[in-house]
């Protein structure tokens, strides 16, 4: 299926990115796809392509561009050791605030494409990317009509760029899919984050899946095929209702 590797001039330099398009050269609404901490790798590209095959133009930026070349990593191998020691230095180069500074560059690129229909886009993120998708929706509420976070962690902390601080600006419909027994998103944090959505009168739905943190990722040891298919159905329904 159509796939291009491009470079976008982002806030802190050249950001490698991948663009996936619908089959047969069809046009469609755009989706900003926010990666997890495992970075760009075949499984991530396959997920972006699945969205494209559903009729969307999908932009997958490499949010570790500030770090420089890396990987690709095999999560099965990474999780056998000290994954924080491996991925921590890369994660330290990005964050919700950094992504917020890059959103305009990503949108400017999408605006150059003749195969993107409409001005409204969707955003989706996984693990680390969940909070980034929310930050993007709060940064450009005029453009982001739908946002989904799957097993996103640290969505409501005391950090200056915590995802919940972006919520008051959000105009998108949101879907928040949490994992069971997730140390990065415990019940008290979920309550705090959802209260921010309620206070901002954001239209949202939050669910806790009977699955582990990372269940959507097909190359993770905790991948849960049944729960992942349910997640895909929810995601595609959200984007179909808000962007079509």
Predicted confidence pLDDT, tens digits, the chain (244 residues): 579 999 999 999 999 999 999 998 899 999 999 999 999 999 999 999 999 999 999 999 999 999 999 999 999 999 899 988 999 999 999 999 999 999 999 999 999 999 999 999 999 999 999 999 999 999 999 999 999 999 999 999 999 999 999 999 999 999 999 999 999 999 999 999 999 999 999 999 999 999 999 999 999 999 999 999 999 999 999 999 999 8
Phi, psi of 75 (to 5 degrees): -55, -35
| Cβ proximity of 233 and 216 under 8 Å | no
pLDDT at 16: 98
- Token pair in block for residue 89: 């230095």
Distance CA 235, CA 174 (A): 10
> Could you state, in order of their start, the residue ranges of all structural domains in the chain?
3-243
| Cβ proximity of 127 and 151 under 8 Å | yes
Classify the C-alpha dihedral 197-201-202-206 as positive or negative: positive
Q: Architecture of 3-243 per CATH? A: 3-Layer(aba) Sandwich (3.40)
DSSP 135-203: HHHHH-TTTEEEEEEES---SS-SSTT-GGGGGGG--SEEEEEEETT-TTS-HHHHHHHHHHHHHTT--
pLDDT at 2: 79
H runs (alpha helix) in 200-224: none
Q: b/e for 171-184, b at 16 or more Cβ within 10 A?
A: bbbbbbbbbeebeb
Closest CA to 61 of 92, 94, 26, 87: 94
Distance CA 130, CA 6 (A): 23
Q: What angle do CA 79, 82, 87 make, to 5 degrees?
A: 80
């Amino acid at each position: 299926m159509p796939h291009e590797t491009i470079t976008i001039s982002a806030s802190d330099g050249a950001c490698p990115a991948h663009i996936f398009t619908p089959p047969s050269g069809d046009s469609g609404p755009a989706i900003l796809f926010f990666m997890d901490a495992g970075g760009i790798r075949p499984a991530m590209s396959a997920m972006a392509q699945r969205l494209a095959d559903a009729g969307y133009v999908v932009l997958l930026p490499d949010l570790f561009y500030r770090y420089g070349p890396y990987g690709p990593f095999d999560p099965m191998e990474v999780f056998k050791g000290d994954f924080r020691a491996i991925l921590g230095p890369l994660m330290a180069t990005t964050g919700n605030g950094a992504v917020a500074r890059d959103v305009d560059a990503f949108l400017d690129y999408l605006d150059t494409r003749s195969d993107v229909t409409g001005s409204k886009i969707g955003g989706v993120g996984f693990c680390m990317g969940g909070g980034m998708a929310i930050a993007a929706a709060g940064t450009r509420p005029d453009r982001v009509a739908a946002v989904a976070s799957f097993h996103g962690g640290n969505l409501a902390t005391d950090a200056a760029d915590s995802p919940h601080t972006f919520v008051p600006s959000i105009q998108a419909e949101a879907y928040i899919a949490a994992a069971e027994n997730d140390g990065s998103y415990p019940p008290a944090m979920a309550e705090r984050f959802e209260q921010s959505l309620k206070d901002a009168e954001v239209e949202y739905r939050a669910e806790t899946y009977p699955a582990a943190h990372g269940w959507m990722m097909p190359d993770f040891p905790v991948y849960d095929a049944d729960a992942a298919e349910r997640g895909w159905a929810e995601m595609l329904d959200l984007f179909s209702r808000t962007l079509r």
